[in-house]
Structure 1
Amino acid sequence: MNQNFSVEDHRKRLLYMQIMYAFGAFMSVFYTFRFAGAFKSPEYTNIMTPLSIAIIVGPPLLWYRFKLYRTAAVSLLITLIFMMILLIYVTGGLFAPGVYWLATIPLATAILFGTRGAITGYFIIFATLVVFIMNNQMGVEPNLIPTPEVFKQELIFNLIGFLGYTSLTTHVYLRNEAAYAQTLRDKNNDVENLLRVLLHDIANTLSSMTLQLIRAKEEQTTSTTELEKMERAVQEINNLLTQVRHLKSVKDGKARLPLKPMSLAKVLSDIYESAESLAGPKGIKLSLEIGREKMLVNAEKTILGNVVLLNIISNAVKFSHPGDRIDIRAFTSGTNVVVEIQDYGVGIPEAIQKNLFDIGSQTNREGTQGEKGTGYGMPLVKEYIQMLGGSITVVSNESATDSRLQGTLVTLKLPLAE
């Protein structure tokens, strides 16, 4: 058993501790007055009064003031178990109206201390029952319940309390298990998404680099410019790998996304060469129109450039016909920067549009020249755009109409940096 609770253990067990504390504090105060009233045994107040004070004051002081989580849990359990056994003992032992409360001991110890706690709880029940049986056989068990009417009251009171406690504890346990299962699913999705970044975005960068190598081989000479392009492509891959490692830390809560004000125009200019490398083999012309404003946005360069913008442009190239045109526009609108990427290709079928951002849906399809797709690009784009505080919309038509062009228009909105 660990010597101290971790922060995660503290969060998971806090609600259980609060439930046990609330029930224990109420029962201790209630029976302190019960002994002096209905049971006509005020001498037991000498035991119940300090016990009640220990239950009410001790655990919160240890838990919240001194952050001694394990000590607080052990203190609360010991005092509650002692009080429970005492109350059962003095109200009839094996035949007490609340003897079934013993079943909550291994439940409480298991929740707070795991398997070893459960075993300890079972041992406490076994030892308590042995003592009760021996006392019953020797006829030395006290029974402070004065009349059958009071016994009936105790039976009803304990039954209501027991059902309330076990129902509430079960509900909390199931809710926590559901939350824990969702956390595991979220972490699994995060790992899958980061892997998709590697598979999808590094593949794009490597494709661009491969085309440059093919050109250099065909020309049998490698110019300084070509070498610089390949060097930049390798650097982009290194940046992506570094960013994936950092994003994993962000998802795990160990780091923050390093957002800082940057010029969207500069990011677009930096990726334009890579975009041309993607469009060149199909003879697609890129048109880049950037407003004169600074267009500063809070972003991370690799995410905004490689993960978001190049992903969208890559899709536009993939689903455009050879010799087509792709228009890229960036401008300010109110408190936002707007980026529009318009292609005039085959468009997106309506069935795929509905699930375009659903990472679990089948949305991949071949491009106009048989290019393969994974279907991971747009879900990733949306996730990272939201991380940057922005939004994305997609409007697409498979055929031209009087009011709409054929092709796909992707619109990104990012808030201007203050």
Structure 2
Amino acid sequence: MRDLEFTSNEAFKKRLTYFKVIYALGVSVCLIYLAKYNFEYKTTEYNHVLIPGWLGFAIIPLLMMKLTKNFLWSALTLSFFAIGMLTYLLYTAGGAEAPGIFWLAAVPLVLGVLIGLPGSLAGYIIVTVIITVFWWLHVSRIGPNVIHDYGNYEKEKSFNLITFLLFSCFTTHQYIKSEERHLKRLQKQNSDVENLLRVLIHDVANTLTGMTSNLLRAKEGPRAFSSVEFERMEKAVDDIQNLLSQVRHLKSVKDGKAELPLKPLSLALVLNEVYESTLSQAQRKGIKLSLELSRDRMMINAERTILSNVVLLNLMSNAIKFSHPGERIDVRAFSKDEGVIVEIQDYGIGIPTEILEQIFSLQAKTSRPGTQGEKGTGYGMPLAKEYLQLMDGSLEIHSQIEATPDRPRGTIVRLRLPLAKVHAEPS
């Protein structure tokens, strides 16, 4: 049905809403005047035009929409009947002297809303032609004047003015509400695009940093670089390729064209891989990593690359970044109720209250250097939380910059993910 060049599916739905509103209001207003002509003015001689015209107005545009699935032709049909009924009612009510002559101002508005700029331009021409004809009929004293003969001009003028204001206010209100909804969706889409770009900036950069460090070591000679470390580099390249693929897919998810491919996988297996990936980074800084897992595999529904690279690897890197040499980081994972909990606890410098309060905001400035001047972007935490929510998970952070009798200094990040309902082999 999208035969016009709409900028988006949302724009098409918005135009279709206007079609329905204008149709409903137009049919209702014409029915009111049809009743007035028959029961108030007793002028049944105009029924041979008014009744077929109103029936055509009420039936044909909807029938056209249903049969042709063509918005342009349906909109043109609706406009034809609306303008035709309006012109005939004004003609019988005195033409240029009709108390509702200002209804012609709605013609460019209706055509513009339904068809766009070409419709508005056509509306101006139609109104100019109608006014010219009415002026000529008035000068030539040709045509009926039902209001002059059977009604009260001031009363009808007030009635028309009130009806026109209600029509204008309602259509304007609908237009503003629709525009606000459209603007919010555009802002969200823009935010989603920025977030995906930040994934590339943040997580690809993290992986490349680790690869660069390994390459520098490789230049020192084959003895300084083991086959295991070569395998880690190869895995890092695979991770970047997977991440790029997932970013493309996530864009489709955000646009509503696809779903995030959640699959049953072993959280224990993923945590072991993340532990191995960050072990060398921690060792270079003199930090000890501790991994404590429950005995079961903790099967969850998740997307492996996003969970590993965007969430867990990012949180582990943060813990290392804000820890001093000689300190340790404890990673724990265990099942609880219908889900699993992952805790990443460091004993580093902690997070100041003013940063912690805005740590999930993409707009707030939360980036700060690590204990050895490591740089960051401030995008890691907001992105981790967002993608956890896409996997039906949650993220919370507790931190303090000074130790207390009941809590040590540092930060504890707690992830919650639901257990997979259908247990399957890890992917």
The TM tier, using the shorter chain, reads: over 0.9
Partner of 2:248: 245
RMSD after superposition: 1.7
Alpha-carbon offset, residue 327 of structure 1: 0.7
Alpha-carbon offset, residue 147 of structure 1: 5.3
TM-score, normalised relative to structure 2: 0.94
Secondary structure at the aligned position of 1:392 is classed as strand
User: Using the alignment, how far apart are the partners of 1:225 and 1:263 within structure 2?
Assistant: 23
Map of 1:67-82 to 2, 5 A cutoff? 67-82=69-84
User: Using the alignment, how far apart are the partners of 2:231 and 2:171 within structure 1?
Assistant: 65
Secondary structure at the aligned position of 2:36 is classed as helix
> Counterpart amino acid of 1:270?
E
User: Using the alignment, how far apart are the partners of 1:277 and 1:99 within structure 2?
Assistant: 82
Question: Do 1:28 and 1:51's aligned partners in 2 also have CA atoms closer than 8 Å?
Answer: no
Alpha-carbon offset, residue 66 of structure 1: 5.3
Structure 1 residues without counterparts, runs of 5 or longer: none
> Counterpart amino acid of 1:238?
Q
User: Using the alignment, how far apart are the partners of 1:228 and 1:314 within structure 2?
Assistant: 20
Secondary structure at the aligned position of 2:152 is classed as helix
User: Using the alignment, how far apart are the partners of 1:407 and 1:314 within structure 2?
Assistant: 15
1:153-181, CA deviations, whole angstroms, 9 ceiling, x for partnerless residues? 32122111111111112222222222222
User: Does the alignment pair 1:195 with 2:207?
Assistant: no
Alpha-carbon offset, residue 278 of structure 1: 2.3
Q: 1:148 to 1:43 in 2, by over 3 A?
A: closer
Partner of 1:232: 235
Greater Cα offset, 208-217 or 198-207: 208-217
Partner of 2:89: 87
User: Using the alignment, how far apart are the partners of 1:20 and 1:200 within structure 2?
Assistant: 49
* Residue number among 110, 125, 128 corresponding to 2:127 in the alignment: 125
* Residue number among 176, 187, 190 corresponding to 1:185 in the alignment: 187
Question: Do 2:41 and 2:150's aligned partners in 1 also have CA atoms closer than 8 Å?
Answer: no
Give the total of aligned pairs: 417
Secondary structure at the aligned position of 2:340 is classed as strand
User: Using the alignment, how far apart are the partners of 2:397 and 2:311 within structure 1?
Assistant: 14
* Residue number among 386, 389, 392 corresponding to 1:389 in the alignment: 392
Question: Do 2:342 and 2:414's aligned partners in 1 also have CA atoms closer than 8 Å?
Answer: yes
Alpha-carbon offset, residue 257 of structure 1: 1.0
Question: Do 1:10 and 1:69's aligned partners in 2 also have CA atoms closer than 8 Å?
Answer: no
User: Using the alignment, how far apart are the partners of 1:29 and 1:22 within structure 2?
Assistant: 11
Partner of 2:39: 37
Partner of 1:316: 319
Partner of 1:366: 369
Question: Do 2:282 and 2:320's aligned partners in 1 also have CA atoms closer than 8 Å?
Answer: yes
Question: Do 2:61 and 2:78's aligned partners in 1 also have CA atoms closer than 8 Å?
Answer: yes
Partner of 2:403: 400
> Counterpart amino acid of 1:357?
F
Map of 1:96-115 to 2, 5 A cutoff? 96-115=98-117
> Counterpart amino acid of 2:295?
R
Secondary structure at the aligned position of 1:329 is classed as strand
* Residue number among 336, 339, 350 corresponding to 1:336 in the alignment: 339
Question: Do 1:38 and 1:150's aligned partners in 2 also have CA atoms closer than 8 Å?
Answer: no
Partner of 1:413: 416
1:246-276, CA deviations, whole angstroms, 9 ceiling, x for partnerless residues? 1112112222211111111111112221111
User: Using the alignment, how far apart are the partners of 1:230 and 1:188 within structure 2?
Assistant: 34
> Counterpart amino acid of 1:337?
V
Structure 2 residues without counterparts, runs of 5 or longer: 422-427
Question: Do 1:295 and 1:331's aligned partners in 2 also have CA atoms closer than 8 Å?
Answer: yes
Partner of 1:210: 212
User: Using the alignment, how far apart are the partners of 1:384 and 1:320 within structure 2?
Assistant: 25
Alpha-carbon offset, residue 393 of structure 1: 0.5
Alpha-carbon offset, residue 363 of structure 1: 0.3
Alpha-carbon offset, residue 113 of structure 1: 1.1
User: Using the alignment, how far apart are the partners of 2:364 and 2:170 within structure 1?
Assistant: 38
Alpha-carbon offset, residue 151 of structure 1: 2.2
Alpha-carbon offset, residue 368 of structure 1: 0.4
User: Percent same amino acid at aligned positions?
Assistant: 48
Question: Do 1:343 and 1:409's aligned partners in 2 also have CA atoms closer than 8 Å?
Answer: yes
Q: 1:367 to 1:351 in 2, by over 3 A?
A: same
TM-score, normalised relative to structure 1: 0.95
